[in-house]
Structure 1
């Protein structure tokens, strides 16, 4: 199975978004545990069995406890065709799939532009591929590459020679007694 077909390993959840919900705030500790066990299971397996007995077996909990607490956590889930699902997590999974598809399409478009430029170069074409394949305006006239910086380091004098005597004042001796900053000062040999 390729990496593109793997399910997302995690879902993002803001604690305040869950904790601010009245449905969550009124749950007891065992109910909150059941809720999150079910959410995690729905993320990994997409659904759970609707039957409290089967649900308890899947989750590894006591069937009587699950049956007693299940009605309190069901506002967070949906039931259809004997399956419990989490609409919130299903929507988030769909969103991640959409983002992954858009990234894939963008990568393919970028590869097409790159390969087109290479093909034109091999053919000896003097045609210049568009510098902005996205079609978005960069504020530059067409055909002009964007220059990030015109500042170049000087090769005339190394930095320490420019400072002269101040070099050791600025850089060299500010840490008297320490020859290596990674050493423990307690074990440093006096110089």
Structure 2
């Protein structure tokens, strides 16, 4: 995501807006104007205070905008000739704060990951007593385990003279003990 890009949408709970007396007393045309202005404020952060210029921006009749504008203004603030939406600006700052903290967390996580990679490449261990880098300093000792060692019924005794895997088991207690055994036939 591009760092300078604003959030593409705002979250609004319908019940919060519908519970406001200011909203409930608006006509259908006024509600349309309200939401047209809110959407413009989200995208452009402000609208001009002039009803004529506002009408051109919104694409509506200037007389209709001028007549309905006073009814929707309780949802907005005017400063220096600009109409802004305080609740949307508050939400925008909250989203930007969250995004900033996420970016900082991502950078911190990347720094930790890169530091671990650097330590592993140089052979420096972050944990004393534990080997770092490759495992040549602490070679793994392999252990041979057979299925028969887990199930004694599969391990025939020499007296039974059983056949294990095509090899005669007579005289051999466990053919997995040593890899270089030989069977006498």
For this structure pair, what is the TM-score category when the shorter chain's length is used for normalisation?
A: 0.5 to 0.7
- The aligned residue for residue 17 of structure 1 is 16
Structure 2: unaligned runs, 5 residues or longer: 129-146, 148-185
Aligned partners of 2:97 and 2:125: how far apart in 1?
Answer: 38
- The aligned residue for residue 116 of structure 1 is 115
Aligned partners of 2:125 and 2:49: how far apart in 1?
Answer: 66
Q: How does 1:92-107 map to 2 (within 5 A)?
A: 92-107=91-106
Aligned partners of 2:93 and 2:119: how far apart in 1?
Answer: 39
Is 1:7 matched with 2:6? yes
* CA drift at 1:123: 1.1
Structure 1: unaligned runs, 5 residues or longer: 130-155, 157-191
Larger Rg: 2
SS of equivalent to 1:66: helix
How many correspondences in the alignment?
129
* TM-score under structure 2 length normalisation: 0.67
Aligned partners of 2:126 and 2:72: how far apart in 1?
Answer: 64
* TM-score under structure 1 length normalisation: 0.65
Moved over 3 A (4+): none
